[in-house]
Structure formats: structure tokens, C-alpha cells
Amino acid sequence: MKLLILNGPNLNLLGKREPAIYGSDSFEDYFKTLQKKHTGIELFYFQSNIEGELIDKLHEVGFLYDGVVLNAAAYTHTSVGIADAVKAIETPVIEVHISNVHAREEFRHTSFIAPNVKGIIAGFGLKSYELAIQSFL
């Protein structure tokens, strides 16, 4: 099984960015833990701050991989392009958020992506990613 974790803008700063909300672990370290925990699957990771690169990645894996765990970060709330890409591909996508977006500012309550995903996991810290992976197993 091939799964991609796809992270959007500012998530390269995890560990340094607003630790009270997003925690103090870097994603690179957490990703190593995830790989060790899931030796039976091929787990890949890509992060970009650029909307078009996230769309290109969805196109690249979207007819080949078994699943995508997508944290589109701020683009969740703004991007018709990413929402359309999720709809266009065959690979099922799970939307994840580290924080509980519904307990935060109102602009975070809207997800352009949500109607096109298989499911949504939010508010469990970095564990949100692991729960999404488990949903594919």
C-alpha cells in the first residue's frame, strides 16, 4: 500500500510555529516515527507552500497511490484549485488538521476541500495523521 502525506503552507515550520496550537515536534521527526510504526506500508511525505505544487502532487499520485492524507493548511479555507484537484483524482483523500479548526476563528470553519474527501480528522494534534493512516488499513 502506498500512501502520501501532503502538507500545505507553513507546516514546514511545525515545532517552531505557534507551539501552543501545533505542538513542539517537527514534522520530519514525527514522520520518522510514523514510518517506524507502519513498516508494512510505503509512506511518502511532501510539503509545499505553493498551491500549484500541491495540485501537481495530487495529479502525480492521484491515479497511482492508495490514499492521500492531506493537510492543506490555510488553503483548506481558500482554494478552489485544490478542491477541484481532490475531486479530479481517483485516489481517496482524507482531510486532516492538527488543531480543531471548528473551535477556532470562523474563517477556519469553512473547508473548500471537505465535500470531495472521504473523511475528515481534526483536533488530535499530530496524531490526526496517524488516525488518517489507520483509516486506510
The three cell numbers of residue 54 are: 500541491
Per-residue string for binding with ligand DQA, 9-48, x by CB under 6 A?
A: -x--------------------------------------
3-state SS, one letter per residue, for 67-112: EEEEECHHHHHCCHHHHHHHHHCCCCEEEEECCCHHHCCHHHHCCC
Active site residues: 22, 97
Q: Does 78 bind ligand DQA (CB under 6 A)?
A: no
Q: Does 74 bind ligand DQA (CB under 6 A)?
A: yes
Give the residue, chosen from 49, 99, 116, 135, that forms a contact with ligand DQA under the rule CB under 6 A.
99
Contacts with ligand DQA by CB under 6 A lie at: 10, 71, 73-74, 76, 97-99, 101, 108
